[in-house]
A and B are shown apart, each in its own frame.
Chain A
Amino acid sequence: MKIRGLFLTGLAAVFLAGCVGTTTRSGPPAPVYNRGMPGGTGAQVSAVEEPQLETGEGQAYDPDAIDTSVPDAPTRAPRAEVAISGPAGTEPVTGQQIAYASTAAASSSQPMGNAASSLLEKAENQRRSGDLDGAASTLERAVRIESRHPLPWNRLAQIRLQQQNYSLAAELASKSNALAGSDSSLKRSNYLIIADAKRASGDAAGARVAQSRADSMR
């Protein structure tokens, strides 16, 4: 009896030993990488993961300034302008509710093909329903199709502004201006975006300059 018990215990021990080594074969589903948008104290932006762009490190947009920072090589050390920032964002958010003077979807006098037009329409719908990342994707497609047309750039700037990506919004609006020629109403919209972006990132002086340019476009 005793022997049998010992034998069974021993056997059990051996079998249990095998079991202990089990690791989960089919582990938990891999975590979908989730990086929240910085500046989260402000309005909640769409939850989809979007890398925060380190464009200018929160520098105020200055039309005359040349960026003298040394950029990183395209394949070398991290960052350049497509870095993924940590939870601490670099965009200082004022925290107050920002009155976006430029939220109305701008239009342009320049003719645009159907493809880009339908994309702009789709993007506007996405924007209204809160899918800002989707709207941005759609607008980027429109930019690629009509790269010389200022309007998709302007709309994209607007989206980025709404996503509180202020430096990028200002740059995109500036690019739109470079293409806008004599379309003063579109340029006004761009300057308003720039003004909003500067105001929101704490550059009051720059915001005033941009605002005065917007006003002079009337």
Chain B
Amino acid sequence: MATRGKRKKVRKSAKRRRKSPFFIRFLKYLLILLIIASIPLAIYTVHVSSMVTEKFEGKRWAVPARVYARSLELYSGAPVTSERLRAELEMLGYREDPQADRTGTWTINGNRLFVNSRPFRFWDGEEPPRSLDVRFRDDRVESLRERRSGKEIDLVRFEPLEIGSIYPSHNEDRIILGYKQIPTLLEQTLLAIEDRRFYSHAGVDPRGTLRALFNTLFKGRTEGGSTITQQLVKNLYLTRERRIKRKLREAHIALILEYHYSKQEILSAYANEIYLGQDGNRGIHGFGLASDFFFGVPVNELEVEQIALLVGMIKAPSDYNPRRHPEKAMERRNLVLDILGKQGVISESLANAAKQRPLGVVARKKRSGGGRYPAFMDLVKRQLDRDYQAEDLNSEGLRIFTTMDPWVQNTAEANVVERLTELEKQRRLPQGKLEVGAVIATPLDGEVLAVIGGREAAYEGFNRALDATRQIGSLVKPAVYLAALQEPWKYALTTPLEDRELVLQSGSGKRWSPQNYDKKEHGLVPLERALAKSYNLATVRLGLDVGIDKVISTLHALGMSEQPQELPSLLLGALNMTPLEVAQIYQSIASGGYRAPLRAIREVMNHEGKPLQRYPLTVKRTIPEGPVYLVTKAMQEVVNAGTATYLKSALPPSLNLAGKTGTTDNLRDSWFAGFSGNYVTVVWVGRDDNKSAGLTGSSGALRVWADIMKPLKPEALGLIQPETIELAMVDPATGMLAGSGCADPVSMPFLKGYTPLEVSQCDGDPIQEMFADGWTGTGGYRDAQGHPDFENNRRDNTGGGRKEPSDSKEGGLGGFLRSIFQ
């Protein structure tokens, strides 16, 4: 009985204890409710979190791949002038200094240049810093010595010029700033104007939010109130809408970001992502790009008022665009300067002084943000795209060493515009209409030295060198003649060709009647001259006789990648190619038949300095040396006596340049492709709208070609006579061997075993002589299949007179003439 009472007492007191005030119970229930509600929120956060971090990481502007030009090498005998060396040093940022005792300085004394080279880690080793004494003579380096000791140095390699940076995986050009590269003043300004409590809040700033809310609701002002983090979220993840839902999402993601990443990471992401303007269809994101775009300087060179303007633009980049609305921009900038002064970021006096300064915005440069040589960089990017998987190149700190020669590139760029303007005046073309595309490469290895995408070389626009597909016209002819010269039993340089009109009829009944440029017929012309003078009629007849399929095979061997139709018009160049593709073809000829794929990259190195990938020097012999030698000789005649004689006066004739002019229908395209000992250069001139420019290859592209090549001081084209070639003295009128009666015989090259058999005494009627003895052309050594052997020294084994091969096509002059009379 007593225990029950006690229990009752206990229960009563327990009951009394448990009876808590109402509001505490309310809170308890609220808490339970919140916890229950937070579960879906937690799940949602998990889901969003991974997306957020993935995107942040993906955009995490890893240090881009740095792209370098080729480095300048100096050695005794190097074809480098003192001017060129100085130009290169200037590009590399070396300073002229009479003392010239510190790394990165140089000084000149007559023909002697002293320079202290910087060290550089190449893919194949370290190049140490050196103090050099370089002496020049006759456009070459005469000697190279160590300055102090006077000891001779064999070879020196300067550090390569950095020409740009790219993100290999997405090929954008950006000027990305790491946190350390953000100037302090810029950071302080950002904080002062956009988010004062950046470093203390957790992503969302309650004070700021409330204030913005207050202003929006009660003062009718729509204000941001967003933290830097929130703005980053807006730029990165969301669209620019002003809705409550967006704001909530923004805040949510901001919190997540702040949880995962440091303030510095967030700030630098912001500094790289913030939208500051528009350049055509390219958005200007980030201060790195903006400072280049608006002020033409890198971000670390910005003045205080420039920083103020850029930060001021964040609020409304189009409204405060300093080029479009300079007054508003100025007002906004000065407001920012005021705030900076008041907050003590800068002194009041500096703020006042800065307010007086002009905006300082430079004229809008038509220039890409990340590179001085957009046309060449374009080729680099395409080759990277072609040859690499994106994931191969995603590592940070890659270094890409290219084949570009900055001196060649600059020289070419500088010498193009003047001529185009002059041509426009001469031809009374509207100004600015004439465009150009050009490629310069080294014959021996196909390395691309320079790419000219258009007359405004620094403009990242349509890259004519890589993308302007145009009819090549007469540029195709060397391939036709090369195909013919590979049949030496029929054709030699001296073979007379018939330059006579002809009419071709296609299967559908369409008639084609080609004409020479001068609308004349020239009768019998030696093969070499027909190419030199670019006679259409002789070429078409030749090509038809050889066979269009063989011409196409030859074009493939030279590096053409198209599969054109076998139409006679192909023989006159009704074939579309870009300057780069043409350059490939002419490289194969210039190298003596050793095709080397044109390439812009030498090597890719990772951040540890380890070679990631190499493009080895690659050649492939695709045409026998003998015929290539012969067609090159003919191409030298183009310059010597044909359509490019202008070069003999524009450049030293001793260069023995070889080339070919190209003109198309209605003078729409003007081409010249030619080579010296060390350069193969292709130039196209024309109009983008494909209207006639009124220029032939000779009057247009040839001039530009000469302007480009002359200052490069090219080496002479010294042809090496192959073993499969022998010389013979011939009568220039008939192409037959010169007999004792001939006064002016000419030494001509022939494929071994295929020199003319018949002898001319240069005294009778040339035509009659050619008919006598049934002269049918050349003969030579034949293998079991009847194929000519270009490789051996064996003499004629065809016995007696010369037989044509079993397909009984009548070749040579006799065949031509007989065909007339049939």
Kindly report which residue of chain A lies nearest to residue B381, judged by CB atoms: A75
B556 and A33 contacting across the interface, CB-CB below 8 Å: no
The complex places the Cα of A186 from the Cα of B170 at a distance, in Å, of 48
Kindly list 6 other residue pairs between chains A and B, CB separation below 8 angstroms, not including A51-B613, A66-B624. Answer: A23-B54, A30-B606, A32-B612, A74-B584, A75-B379, A140-B616
Query: Which A110-132 residues have a C-beta within 8 angstroms of B?
Result: 113-115, 117-119
Task: Determine, out of A87-95, A100-108, A142-150, the stretch whose residues face the partner at the interface.
Answer: A142-150
B387 and A83 contacting across the interface, CB-CB below 8 Å: yes
Residue interface bits B583-621, CB-to-A below 8 A is 1, else 0: 110000000101111110000001010111111111111
* B53 / chain A contacts, CB cutoff of 8 Å: 21-23, 25
* B442 / chain A contacts, CB cutoff of 8 Å: 144, 147
Query: Which A39-69 residues have a C-beta within 8 angstroms of B?
Result: 48-51, 53, 55-56, 63-64, 66-69
Select the residue from A16, A74, A115, A140 with max chain B CB neighbours within 10 A.
A74
The complex places the Cα of A83 from the Cα of B554 at a distance, in Å, of 23
**Given the contacts A10-B38, A66-B553, A114-B76, A17 and B563 also touching, CB distance less than 8 Å:** no
The complex places the Cα of A144 from the Cα of B261 at a distance, in Å, of 50
Q: A82: which of B49, B75, B599 is its contact (CB, 8 Å)?
A: B599
* B31 / chain A contacts, CB cutoff of 8 Å: 3, 7
* A181 / chain B contacts, CB cutoff of 8 Å: 720
A72 and B614 contacting across the interface, CB-CB below 8 Å: no
Query: Which B1-58 residues have a C-beta within 8 angstroms of A?
Result: 28, 31-32, 34-35, 38-39, 41-43, 45-46, 48-50, 52-54, 57
Residue A171, interface by CB 8 Å: yes
A66 and B790 contacting across the interface, CB-CB below 8 Å: no
A82 and B615 contacting across the interface, CB-CB below 8 Å: yes
Residue B622, interface by CB 8 Å: yes
* B557 / chain A contacts, CB cutoff of 8 Å: 66-68
Residue interface bits A202-216, CB-to-B below 8 A is 1, else 0: 000000000000000
Residue B440, interface by CB 8 Å: no
Q: A10: which of B39, B581, B584, B718 is its contact (CB, 8 Å)?
A: B39
The complex places the Cα of A69 from the Cα of B556 at a distance, in Å, of 7
Tally of chain A residues near chain B (CB < 8 A): 75
- Nearest-CB distance from A152 to chain B (Å)? 10
* A174 / chain B contacts, CB cutoff of 8 Å: 621
The complex places the Cα of A66 from the Cα of B395 at a distance, in Å, of 42
The complex places the Cα of A82 from the Cα of B563 at a distance, in Å, of 21
**Given the contacts A70-B563, A73-B561, A119-B155, A136 and B597 also touching, CB distance less than 8 Å:** no
A143 and B622 contacting across the interface, CB-CB below 8 Å: no
**Given the contacts A3-B31, A68-B557, A70-B556, A114 and B38 also touching, CB distance less than 8 Å:** no
* A53 / chain B contacts, CB cutoff of 8 Å: 616, 618
**Given the contacts A6-B32, A7-B31, A81-B620, A114 and B75 also touching, CB distance less than 8 Å:** yes
B556 and A68 contacting across the interface, CB-CB below 8 Å: yes
The complex places the Cα of A148 from the Cα of B606 at a distance, in Å, of 33
Query: Which B682-714 residues have a C-beta within 8 angstroms of A?
Result: none
A18 and B556 contacting across the interface, CB-CB below 8 Å: no
Residue A161, interface by CB 8 Å: no
- Nearest-CB distance from B554 to chain A (Å)? 8
Residue interface bits B121-161, CB-to-A below 8 A is 1, else 0: 00111000000000000000000000000001011000000
* B32 / chain A contacts, CB cutoff of 8 Å: 3, 6
* A30 / chain B contacts, CB cutoff of 8 Å: 394-396, 606
* B619 / chain A contacts, CB cutoff of 8 Å: 171-172, 175
Shortest Cβ-Cβ A-B pairs, 8 listed: A21-B49, A30-B395, A115-B75, A10-B35, A17-B42, A118-B154, A73-B561, A115-B155
* A23 / chain B contacts, CB cutoff of 8 Å: 50, 53-54, 57
The complex places the Cα of A137 from the Cα of B125 at a distance, in Å, of 10
Residue interface bits A163-189, CB-to-B below 8 A is 1, else 0: 000001001101100110100000000
Q: A18: which of B256, B560, B581 is its contact (CB, 8 Å)?
A: B256
- Nearest-CB distance from A36 to chain B (Å)? 13
- Nearest-CB distance from B254 to chain A (Å)? 13
B57 and A51 contacting across the interface, CB-CB below 8 Å: no
- Nearest-CB distance from A34 to chain B (Å)? 9
* A13 / chain B contacts, CB cutoff of 8 Å: 38-39, 42
* A33 / chain B contacts, CB cutoff of 8 Å: 392, 612-613
A14 and B42 contacting across the interface, CB-CB below 8 Å: yes
The complex places the Cα of A25 from the Cα of B71 at a distance, in Å, of 36
* B34 / chain A contacts, CB cutoff of 8 Å: 10
* A172 / chain B contacts, CB cutoff of 8 Å: 617, 619
The complex places the Cα of A1 from the Cα of B618 at a distance, in Å, of 79
Residue B194, interface by CB 8 Å: no
**Given the contacts A7-B31, A133-B614, A67 and B75 also touching, CB distance less than 8 Å:** no
Kindly report which residue of chain B lies nearest to residue A53, judged by CB atoms: B618
The complex places the Cα of A119 from the Cα of B125 at a distance, in Å, of 13
Residue B791, interface by CB 8 Å: yes
A81 and B597 contacting across the interface, CB-CB below 8 Å: yes
B617 and A143 contacting across the interface, CB-CB below 8 Å: yes
A147 and B678 contacting across the interface, CB-CB below 8 Å: yes
**Given the contacts A21-B52, A74-B580, A178-B625, A138 and B556 also touching, CB distance less than 8 Å:** no
A50 and B614 contacting across the interface, CB-CB below 8 Å: yes
- Nearest-CB distance from B688 to chain A (Å)? 20
* B789 / chain A contacts, CB cutoff of 8 Å: 64
- Nearest-CB distance from A123 to chain B (Å)? 10
Q: A175: which of B580, B594, B623 is its contact (CB, 8 Å)?
A: B594
- Nearest-CB distance from A27 to chain B (Å)? 8
The complex places the Cα of A51 from the Cα of B608 at a distance, in Å, of 20
Residue B283, interface by CB 8 Å: no
The complex places the Cα of A17 from the Cα of B38 at a distance, in Å, of 10
The complex places the Cα of A156 from the Cα of B256 at a distance, in Å, of 57
* B45 / chain A contacts, CB cutoff of 8 Å: 14, 17-18, 21
- Nearest-CB distance from B484 to chain A (Å)? 14
Residue A217, interface by CB 8 Å: no
Q: A115: which of B39, B41, B154, B608 is its contact (CB, 8 Å)?
A: B154
B395 and A171 contacting across the interface, CB-CB below 8 Å: no
Residue interface bits B451-487, CB-to-A below 8 A is 1, else 0: 0000000000000001000000000000000000010
Residue B735, interface by CB 8 Å: no
Residue interface bits B86-114, CB-to-A below 8 A is 1, else 0: 00000000000000000000000000000
B618 and A20 contacting across the interface, CB-CB below 8 Å: no
Residue B77, interface by CB 8 Å: yes
B598 and A74 contacting across the interface, CB-CB below 8 Å: yes
Kindly report which residue of chain A lies nearest to residue B466, judged by CB atoms: A75
* B608 / chain A contacts, CB cutoff of 8 Å: 32
* B615 / chain A contacts, CB cutoff of 8 Å: 51, 82
* A18 / chain B contacts, CB cutoff of 8 Å: 45-46, 49, 256, 259
Residue B322, interface by CB 8 Å: no
Select the residue from B49, B124, B442, B584 with max chain A CB neighbours within 10 A.
B124
- Nearest-CB distance from B238 to chain A (Å)? 18
B616 and A136 contacting across the interface, CB-CB below 8 Å: yes
B616 and A64 contacting across the interface, CB-CB below 8 Å: no
A-B contact pairs, 13 of them (CB 8 A): A66-B553, A66-B623, A69-B556, A70-B556, A74-B584, A75-B580, A80-B597, A81-B596, A82-B597, A140-B445, A141-B73, A143-B444, A143-B445
The complex places the Cα of A63 from the Cα of B259 at a distance, in Å, of 69
The complex places the Cα of A76 from the Cα of B561 at a distance, in Å, of 9
B387 and A84 contacting across the interface, CB-CB below 8 Å: yes
Residue A77, interface by CB 8 Å: yes
* A179 / chain B contacts, CB cutoff of 8 Å: 720
Q: B46: which of A20, A55, A70 is its contact (CB, 8 Å)?
A: A20
* A83 / chain B contacts, CB cutoff of 8 Å: 387
A32 and B610 contacting across the interface, CB-CB below 8 Å: yes
The complex places the Cα of A165 from the Cα of B124 at a distance, in Å, of 20
* B43 / chain A contacts, CB cutoff of 8 Å: 17
